[in-house]
A and B are shown apart, each in its own frame.
Chain A
Amino acid sequence: MNFWDKLGTLDRRWIYLLVALSVIFPLIVPMSFKISITPEARQLFEAVDALPDSSVVMLTFDYYPSTVAETEPMATAALHHLFRKDCKVVTMTTIPLGGPSMAERVTRTVARKYNKVYGTDFVNLGYKANWVAVLKGMGTSIEAIYPADNSGTRLSELPLMATVKNYDDVSFIFVVADNDIVQNWVSIVNAQYGTPIGAGVTAVGAPKYYAFVGSGQLTGLLGGMKGAAEYELLADARGLAEKGMGMQSLAHLVIILMVIVGNIAFFAGRWSKKGKVK
């Protein structure tokens, strides 16, 4: 086992330590950077900003607690933007594990800052099973699928829902998701009812949805924590995502370094062996 082989098979816990340090260090020495805005993030912001005040927007909490670091800042920044524009917000979720609880808590926290009234300014529809039928069903009648809201109040008793019967009464759908539900919002709702849809997704899913932005089926796209930081900047709603970017940068450099050094150890190891064999 020459030097290169030893370098190539370093015990993985040393590498874990290096990653941990790269994320903790910026906490001690805060690093702030200028965040550049991608055209796709600007397109989403401008589409929401162009909406006339007090128009109805549907905000969906289609993410599991496992990806809140990327998705929650997007939902929070969107809510700041929408409430500042006096838009009426209808929230819902297709995620059975935690979806309704997170939709309730995140929306009420931001609504309190703009002293919005539940029932007239915002409503949380919560969760109903089988998202295919939910997405398709709301096309004809939201009340058929959701007889009551997340807390059990009948929809007929909520003033806001009197004006929102189905997608025709919704001006924009802002989907925040960590799974393929975005593809179904596009292929069921946008394709059949024409409601414009913008999406904030985790970085794992983002590359796939460029195809929908390109075909105009998606109006703008946020990708990962950087996408959230971009929307926070655009909507002037500074939050967690922007603070995280410093730590993100150092960790990326560590990973890039790992790939390069790993490959050097691999190739150098092979050349030195070839050298001996000849």
Chain B
Amino acid sequence: MLKHLKIRFLLTFLLTFVADYQLAAAQTSDDIFRVDRINALITFVLFSIAILLYIKWAKEGKPLFIRKIAGLDAVEEAVGRATEMGKPVLFIPGIQEIDDIETIAGISILGRVAKITAQYDTPLVVPVRYPMVLAAGQEVVEQAYIEMGKRDSYNRDIVRYVAGEQFAFTATVNGMMMRDRPAANIYMGAFFAESLLLAETGNAAGSIQIAGTARPEQLPFFIAACDYTLMGEELYAASAYLSHEPLMLGGLKGQDLMKVLIVVLIIVGIILMTLGFGDAFRNLFEAV
């Protein structure tokens, strides 16, 4: 049922866009309704329908497919290696407060890692920078240990508050890395200038390093310094894949549908422009 609904959705979008062209031409300045902004209205309405529909389906538990993010295999492999070597796993859920989207994504990935370390009794260390992230982290890790039937091997200071100030936090975590020499360092969440210092020290300590952040200016450093990096939206896709949380899952699927629509429209525009009569179509997307 989902399949042909999507196709019908795409067709209605294309047709209404063409209709918009005649209407926009009739715009006179003293009209109450801004007819020249009808392309924005159509985009806004269709976008809202796509997002809300998918959130509804996600809440109803409909099977919404998300491909497994390659980065998650790398995480599982790294934790596996740490288990073989009997060395700890270090996980940092970013250095932002709990209301930051990247931190929330980091915490849900922490839940997954905690399940694996619980299963194989691998030591897990999670330094955090804010009290609220400490509470959320402890809740997720405890839940994972209980689910794997390892309630007794869970202790409260797996997730520990280290320091508040950015560089003081980094200095302390670097000290932990050089002392404990963890087999795997996993950085998932919002990182800023200290990403360099953490990745470099982790490299010197000989750990496998996997990072994930949405901040474009930190990604190049993680890519160059870590063994695997989750880039931009992959971080959110990974946490939606793991948590199946309806809001995140529905939002992601709705955005994916819009991406298909955008790519289709761009290709149509390119073909028309290359053939020489694309200007009319291209003007439909004029933001006034």
Contact = CB atoms under 8 A, between A and B. Distances in A.
A253 interface: no
A215 to B, nearest CB: 10
A263 to B, nearest CB: 10
Interface string B159-170: 000000000000
A204 B287 contact: no
B141 to A, nearest CB: 33
Contact of A9 (B204, B216, B217, B287): B204
B191 to A, nearest CB: 14
Nearest to B216: A208
A9 B217 CA distance: 26
Interface residues of B, number: 5
A191 B287 contact: yes
Contact of A204 (B200, B204, B217): B217
Contacts of A204: 217
Interface residues of A, number: 6
A9 B204 CA distance: 7
Nearest to A9: B204
Interface string B241-271: 0000000000000000000000000000000
B215 to A, nearest CB: 10
A191 B39 CA distance: 13
A66 to B, nearest CB: 10
B286 to A, nearest CB: 10
Interface in B46-105: none
A204 B216 CA distance: 10
Interface in B191-223: 200, 204, 216-217
Nearest to B197: A12
A186 B200 CA distance: 37
Interface in A186-206: 191, 204-205
Interface string A154-198: 000000000000000000000000000000000000010000000
Interface string A241-260: 00000000000000000000
A104 B186 CA distance: 45
A191 B40 CA distance: 11
Interface in B142-157: none
A204 B219 CA distance: 12
Nearest to A203: B217
Contacts of B200: 12
A9 B287 CA distance: 54
Interface string A1-26: 00000000100100000000000000
Nearest to A207: B216
6 contacts: A9-B204, A12-B200, A191-B287, A204-B217, A205-B217, A208-B216
Interface of B: 200, 204, 216-217, 287
Nearest 3 A/B pairs, CB to CB: A191-B287, A204-B217, A9-B204
